Structure 1
Amino acid sequence: MSTSNENNFGVSSILERGTVNRTSVELLTLKDRVAVVTGGQGGLGLEMALAYAQAGAAVYCIDLAAQPNEHFKHVQKEKAGQSLKGRLEYVSCDVTKQDNIWTTVGQIADKEGRLDICVASAGVLKGADVLEYSAADFQKVMDVNVNGALFAAQAAGRAMVKHNARGSIILLADMAGNIANKGMHTTAFNASKAAVIQMARSIASELGSKGIRCNALSPGYVYTEMTKEFLRDNPSLEKEWRSQNPLNRIAKAQELQGIALFLASDASSFCTGSNMLVDGGDTAW
């Protein structure tokens, strides 16, 4: 829980108390905090997890595979060699199974004695012409992108309440939840991310009284393994994607670290129910 000392920063503290014990930069620290990140084995999930670990948090990366891949192991080893206290752990769990994710997150929180941060970033992308989109593919996208986000947020919220934590829940959405991406046949993905954005608002409204914040994070086009695979199958799209935002480029995954750290930390203590667009200005046009 927040204390008066934790709020002793800014101009008002200088004027009222004559001193501050935290600087604005120190608001971004996650020292001694505990985070769970679904879809944390790679992509934006691992990128965000690394940012949290480098800021001092113990981060549990949850993904479907029984064992982490070599990319994760390499990042985990590199982080272990750094002087900061934070660390990366791997846990296998299927986010589409409500009981499983509730149990997994609950066990992590009980082991650590707290849970401060949850990022629901597990997601899939299946493209097809809207008139041919199969029920099975549509359901798969919804199961992972929508149900998985809800179940993770539920699990985290329950653990935060149990351990009396004023936590932050971040649901990974997409600019496709705000617009229909030009030239892409991704009705199910777009619909799922629109649902996630509204889910974040609803969760924020319900859990605010418990001191728990919830926000959606909507990136634009970002180079991840998932998007690279999509571009391999649709090579003409890369130039078009670049042209669709004022910065005329596709984001690097690490460019999401800053906003992810902001949303997880005390720096965003009055930010909840928001949809944070990080799209290079794509939706501005």
Structure 2
Amino acid sequence: MSDTGSVTLVTGATGGIGKAIVSELVRGGHHVIATDLREPAAKDRVPGAQYVASNLLDDAGIERLISAVPGGLLTGLVNAAGVAFFDTDGSVFDIAEPVWAQTIGVNLDGLRKVTKAALPLLRAGNQASIVNIASTAGLRGMDDPLDAYQVSKAAVVSLSQSIALQLGPEGIRCNTVCPGAILTPMISSLYDESPERRQDMERRTPLRRLGLPEDVASAVSFLLSDNASFVTGTNLVVDGGWTAQIK
């Protein structure tokens, strides 16, 4: 699927899912502006991507990021930046205030700020597409609560639908991708510590495997493309069938 002429901004671009998205889009002909807190080492860069370091909670950082977009237009925005504090997130009744604030800040406020700042460039891009990375945790409850993460991702789903309704008349689409259990570097360390945990998740997933970052990247690529030109305000769940079950 080639989208020559597409200019797409990807946040969270050095994480497992973010890097896979950048790779997929570059391969599909997009000019990709890839951003994260720090620029990656040379060995971790995707050849052909343009890297810009920025803090999505810092207004000046976002301003620098937007000014780095070539030509002042975007045909796509992928909000993939996100955090999950597995060791300190938990029940809303016990969670420390800084953990709650940081999770909501990055996962929701950062997304909101970048999208707001990018809107004039998306309008200039003509029929642009926004894809926000949420989570199945934003659609269903979790066995072990990560309430800050879950609430932030549920908010991303809700906000994305509102954005879709507001910008639809301008021809700008907005959708979410909701990954399930994806084997990212962040998650793989947990499975290394507990192989039984990985086996249990594979057993509970109808396709009997964990997802890969490339599975999420393919979904993002579709939603950005003209093949999804009549798709907006929806959640594309990439979870191997996990949420389809009644437990």
Q: Same fold (TM over 0.5)?
A: yes
Given that residues 34 and 112 in structure 1 are in contact (C-alpha distance below 8 angstroms), is that contact kept between their aligned partners in structure 2? no
Cα 1:251–1:71 change in 2 (3 A) is: farther
Instruction: Give 1:137's aligned amino acid.
Output: V
Distance between the aligned counterparts of 2:165 and 2:240, measured in 1? 28
Shift of 1:100: 2.7
Equivalent residue, structure 2, for 1:152: 114
Q: 1:5-51 CA distances to partner (integer Å, 9 max, x unpaired)?
A: xxxxxxxxxxxxxxxxxxxxxxx321021111000013111111111
Distance between the aligned counterparts of 2:203 and 2:5, measured in 1? 42
Given that residues 8 and 76 in structure 2 are in contact (C-alpha distance below 8 angstroms), is that contact kept between their aligned partners in structure 1? yes
Given that residues 156 and 169 in structure 1 are in contact (C-alpha distance below 8 angstroms), is that contact kept between their aligned partners in structure 2? no
Cα 1:232–1:134 change in 2 (3 A) is: farther
Equivalent residue, structure 2, for 1:180: 141
Cα 1:214–1:233 change in 2 (3 A) is: same
Residue 96 (str. 1) matches residue 57 (str. 2): yes
Select which of 205, 208, 220 maps to 1:245.
205
Cα 1:269–1:255 change in 2 (3 A) is: same
Equivalent residue, structure 2, for 1:119: 78
Given that residues 177 and 216 in structure 2 are in contact (C-alpha distance below 8 angstroms), is that contact kept between their aligned partners in structure 1? no
Cα 1:102–1:210 change in 2 (3 A) is: farther
Instruction: Give 1:213's aligned amino acid.
Output: R
Distance between the aligned counterparts of 1:233 and 1:221, measured in 2? 16
Equivalent residue, structure 1, for 2:15: 42
Instruction: Give 1:148's aligned amino acid.
Output: G
Structure 1 portions without partners, runs of 5+: 1-27, 77-86
Distance between the aligned counterparts of 2:176 and 2:214, measured in 1? 18
Given that residues 217 and 275 in structure 1 are in contact (C-alpha distance below 8 angstroms), is that contact kept between their aligned partners in structure 2? yes
Select which of 34, 50, 68 maps to 2:40.
68
Given that residues 219 and 278 in structure 1 are in contact (C-alpha distance below 8 angstroms), is that contact kept between their aligned partners in structure 2? yes
Given that residues 42 and 71 in structure 1 are in contact (C-alpha distance below 8 angstroms), is that contact kept between their aligned partners in structure 2? no
Instruction: Give 1:174's aligned amino acid.
Output: S
Equivalent residue, structure 2, for 1:30: 3
Could you tell me the TM-score, scaled by structure 2's length? 0.91
Q: CA RMSD in A?
A: 1.7
Instruction: Give 2:113's aligned amino acid.
Output: F
Count of matched residue pairs = 242
Cα 1:88–1:266 change in 2 (3 A) is: same
Q: 1:229-248 CA distances to partner (integer Å, 9 max, x unpaired)?
A: 34345554212211221111
Could you tell me the TM-score, scaled by structure 1's length? 0.80
Cα 1:201–1:71 change in 2 (3 A) is: farther
Instruction: Give 1:160's aligned amino acid.
Output: L
Secondary structure of 1:31's match?
Answer: coil
Given that residues 75 and 125 in structure 2 are in contact (C-alpha distance below 8 angstroms), is that contact kept between their aligned partners in structure 1? no
Shift of 1:225: 1.5
Given that residues 72 and 121 in structure 2 are in contact (C-alpha distance below 8 angstroms), is that contact kept between their aligned partners in structure 1? no
Distance between the aligned counterparts of 1:145 and 1:195, measured in 2? 9
Identity %: 29
Given that residues 102 and 152 in structure 1 are in contact (C-alpha distance below 8 angstroms), is that contact kept between their aligned partners in structure 2? no
Given that residues 157 and 235 in structure 2 are in contact (C-alpha distance below 8 angstroms), is that contact kept between their aligned partners in structure 1? yes
Structure 2 portions without partners, runs of 5+: none
Shift of 1:152: 1.9
